[in-house]
Amino acid sequence: MVDVLDRSRGASAQSLRDKRPRSAAGQVFILQAVVVVLLVIGAVLALVLESRQDAETEARNRSVAVAQTFANSPGLGAVLKLPVPSSVLQPLTEEARQKAGVDFIVVMNTQGIRYTHPLPDRIGQRFVGTIGPSLAGRVYTESVNGPLGHEVQAVVPVFGPDRSVVGLVSAGLKVKSVTTTVDRQLPVILGAGAGALALSTTGTALVTRRLRRQTHGLGPAEMTRMYEHHDAVLHAVREGVVIVGHDGRLLLANDEAKKLLNLPADAEGQHVSALAGLDGATAGLLLSGRVATDEVHPAGERLLAVNQRPTDRHGSAMGTVATIRDSTELRALAGKAEVARKRLSLLYEAGLGIGATLDVVRTAEDLARVAVPGFADFVTVDLADAVLRGDEPTGAGADMRRTAVHGIRDDHPLYPLGKLIAFIPSTPQARGLDSGRSQVVADLSQAHGWLAQDPPLTRQIVEYGIHSLIATPLLARGVVLGVANFWRSEKPEPFDDEDRALAEELVARAAVSIDNARRYTREHTMAVTLQRSLLPRALPEQSGLEVAYRYLPAQSGVSGDWFDVIPLPGSRVALVVGDVVGHGLHAAATMGRLRTAVHNFSSLDLPPDELLGHLDDLVNRIDQEETDSGVGTGLTGATCLYAIYDPVTRRCDMARAGHPPPALVRPDGSVDFPDLPAGPPLGLGGMPFETAELRLDEGTQIVLYTDGLIEDRTRDLDVGMELLRAALTGPGRDPEEHCRAVLEALLPASPQDDVALLVARTRTLGPDRVAEWDVAFDPAAVAEMRSAAAAKLAQWGLSELEFALELVLSELITNAIRYGSPPVRLRLVRDRSLICEVSDGSNTSPHLRYAATTDEGGRGLFLVAQLSERWGTRYTPQGKIIWAEQALPPS
């Protein structure tokens, strides 16, 4: 290659010397001199313009300074008020004009009438110029044609004591006076320019002489062309190098180029079109002079990659240089590398796209989507029904459910989604399921075993253009889950063994993800089943509230959310909602224990704060048991809200332990969140809980919920509360409609936490269903109360219950008077049962006992228990209430 460069350098230098004009140096010198002259002229013009501009600026500044100085002179305002101001001002302005070096100073009134002027006959006439800006209090400069000629003048206001404009002062110079200064400077500027021209011309001549001596007589143009020749060669040489002149003759071809192009030894100097053995397309490229990059041309059994560009980057007709290399083997390797790259890219996409979710169907769809269109034109995935249910597949089997279908078009004749397919033994799918190995069918039209599956359908598939198939079984832990089918129609090449390996790699990744999703589905289903079994299957019958609810388990696993509606004595109803910290079976089991405990504690008729206190002790004991035994996670933690509503008094008592506050939807549709005391979460211990008492109008809706409804990673808690308020706001909706509206507004597509929602609309038991009496603290009052109760039963149409009620009343009132303390009250409530309540001021609770045959007493409460469906005691801040319920007779 060094020889090539030397030969090229010598040939180029000799050619350039022969073609170089004799007067080239003189032309270069003249051109350089012209450039220098133009530069000097430009500099002189710039200096002249700048000097004129500076002079005019100086004139304006001087005019403004003189006018402002005179306008601010002491006493000028007083002189302007004289009957004849000109007699005083004219001498002063002329004296000031001569000392300041300006052409005029004019003092005028606010109408522009002159009081002074260098030409006395102009006094009393109107000022030539613009006075509007100055009357507004501003300094104004301008160029005008005045009595003295073309003038540069400034107009300045004269202010009175109250800052009003009482007159104007104008000072200025004639333009002729300004340019005179510039004209005096012009000879100096021209002289400097001439000196610079002489100096630059001499320097140019010296530099040109030195360059000619160093370049051995070659001028700049010749040096540039020779440099471009060798620069193109040095940067384009790869294997073969070819230089073609502007006339189409071959100037240079190295040995490699002659071998690749099959050129004769004396090819240099000949016209490219006359070279024997040179391919026509290659010759056309070399003669075209166009730029080419890795353009492929055949030369016998070789494929040549040609790069070409002109030797003159400025576009003159100097010729081209081309580099040539043999790319036959390189292209074959590049093709294989490209195929390998695409397969690696496909596997990479499969690693990212398959198994992103723990959903069996979604994972099968991911496999089908990843393989189209990079690997196959259509992909179908068939899974065993047991896998879709989350169960362990029983064996290979032949019946598969089509779970995923994806392709380049939607009008394919393949089996649709959801179809249960029974593959016959001769099909590649059945063979693959039996053997656990992929089956490749290169030509479906000749696959008689596959054609026998469903002759009309398989014939339609072949006519559609699907010609090749790979059936790969989905294997995980040695168990067959299903089969993935890869089909080709648009790609003409059939599947081969390399495609089989890629298909098995794709399916192996998908099979593991599908098996994980199947096992997760099974565990999730078991956990959800357990959790739902611990939740109420149906709401109990009661008259105090109209209730609707929603419970939605999380997509990622079960949690410990629960709710309950518990009827209490006296037609009261308890509402409960709670949330156990954590997810999984442990949280669900703990939730079941707490729900059972709430039922047990509510049977004791405890107020909300005491019930939460007992729950707190229970959670502490659960944590302690798990810590001592080393089983479980420990530190359970839970939140709970417990409310008791009394439809007779419309009173609602609430207490909460770390739980979000309830929402109250008033009958007019407004929504508020009552300020309940925020107790600590259950399990912390040592902190008391407080009960809040609310009075609710009939039709008020109580909304209880867990934090999964309002909390989300994409929004703050306050935002969730406001969204809940907006979803509940509005009159005329029942609890069921509120449940739907709230879930639509707040619930994300895939909730990360369980959601429990309970909406209860209050009802009341009016005076027509409730009777109350104050009982005198005297045993004689028992008969009176029996009579009053009998009359009320007759009014209610319940006379059948009179005998039993009289016995119950006699026992309860007698015990209250004998063992209790005043005040004693009796209340009858007609609800789903007849409720009899006797209250007194004592906290002493009666106990049921079985009297011996010889005992004279002790049988009263036994009779009450026998005559009533239920009876019991509940305590109040004022004492206790003994209650008994009797079933109503059939209607």
Mean pLDDT calculated for residue range 858-884: 81
Burial tier of 579 (Cβ tally within 10 Å: 0-12, 13-18, 19+): buried
Per-residue pLDDT at 829:
92
SS3 content of the chain, % helix, strand, coil (to 5): 45, 25, 30
Residues 342-383 have pLDDT tens digits of 667 777 777 777 877 888 899 999 998 988 988 899 999 999
**Can you tell me whether residue 154 is helix, strand or coil?**
strand
Residue 428 structure tokens? 């590649």
Of 127-136, 304-313, 477-486, the range with the lowest mean pLDDT is 304-313
Which alpha helices (H) appear in 436-496, and where do they start and end?
448-451, 455-464
Q: Answer whether 575's CB lies under 8 Å from 760's CB.
A: yes
| pLDDT for the residue 98 | 83
* Helix or strand holding residue 838 (H, E): strand 833-840
Give the mean pLDDT of the chain: 82
Q: Report whether pLDDT(339) > 80.
A: no
pTM across the whole model: 0.51
What is the side-by-side order of every strand in the sheet holding 833-840? 770-775, 824-830, 833-840, 879-887, 870-876
pLDDT tens sequence across 304-329: 888 888 877 655 556 888 888 877 66
CA distance 227 to 232: 8
pLDDT band at 78 (very low <50, low <70, confident <90, very high): confident
Higher pLDDT, 123 or 860: 123
**To 10 degrees, the CA torsion angle through 799, 803, 807, 812?**
0
Per-residue pLDDT at 185:
61
The count of other CB atoms within 10 Å of the CB of residue 793 is: 20
Question: Which tokens hold the place of 877?
Answer: 């801040």
Instruction: Kindly report the number of other CB atoms within 10 A of residue 883's CB atom.
Output: 22
pLDDT value at 779 more than 60:
yes
